């Protein structure tokens, strides 16, 4: 239900945003939102390097674009498992099967085609499929045994930083420990 692009110039995400979401299941998932626009290649690369699971969002009406291919490449280079969210499924005339075929051409074989990558049809507008996406993320995370050690020295990454009137501000993604 978050409208990330509402405050962005030109209606596109222009920074890496990190936020935790309490899910209906009671679990909390931290999302790292990277820009999809082709001009933000290095941000997408950095996002893949610091995540546990990549949720590759592909628009059902656009299918695989050059920046999608780059995001696939980054996820593979970072050796990060992937889940595909086929977005805009609520629109008329969309072709989710075309998306799956296009992904297969670029080395991402979804379960429907005999691969090991889950694909979930979703709508960011209506919320359709978001429960299934949550289930897929939680199941893969549990299968991979992703858990953070809360004790000990903190370790993480500075995702973004800026200077504001009040001083310097940074978004930190904590991998282990507590700040």
Question: Which residues participate in catalysis according to the annotation?
Answer: 37
The residue assigned the tokens 């969210």 is 85
Phi/psi of residue 95, each to 5°?
Answer: -130, 80
3-state helix, strand, coil in the chain (%, to 5): 30, 30, 40
170 three-class SS? strand
Instruction: State the DSSP H helix or E strand holding residue 9, giving kind and residue range, or none if neither.
Output: none
Q: At what angle do helices 41-49 and 66-77 cross, to 10 degrees?
A: 30
Strands 17-22 and 28-33: antiparallel
Residue 56 β-bridge partners: 84
Spatial CA neighbour of 51 closest among 151, 157, 134: 157
* Residue 146 CA: distances (Å) to CA of 29, 51, 65, 140: 11, 11, 30, 9
């Amino acid at each position: 239900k978050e409208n990330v692009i509402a405050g962005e110039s030109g209606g596109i995400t222009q920074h890496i945003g990190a936020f935790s979401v309490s899910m209906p299941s009671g679990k909390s998932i931290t999302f790292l939102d990277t820009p999809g626009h082709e001009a933000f290649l290095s941000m997408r690369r950095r996002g893949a390097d610091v995540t546990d699971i990549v949720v590759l969002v592909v628009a059902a009406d656009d299918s695989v674009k050059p920046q999608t291919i780059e995001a696939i490449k980054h996820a593979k280079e970072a050796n990060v498992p992937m889940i595909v969210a086929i977005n805009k499924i609520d629109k008329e005339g969309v072709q989710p099967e075309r998306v799956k075929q296009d992904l297969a051409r670029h080395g991402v074989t979804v379960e429907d085609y005999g691969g090991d990558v889950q694909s979930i049809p979703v709508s960011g507008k209506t919320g359709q499929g978001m429960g299934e996406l949550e289930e897929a993320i939680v199941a893969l995370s549990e299968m991979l045994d992703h858990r953070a050690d809360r004790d000990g020295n903190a370790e993480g990454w500075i995702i973004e930083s800026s200077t504001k009137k009040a001083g310097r501000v940074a978004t930190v993604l904590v991998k282990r420990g507590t700040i």
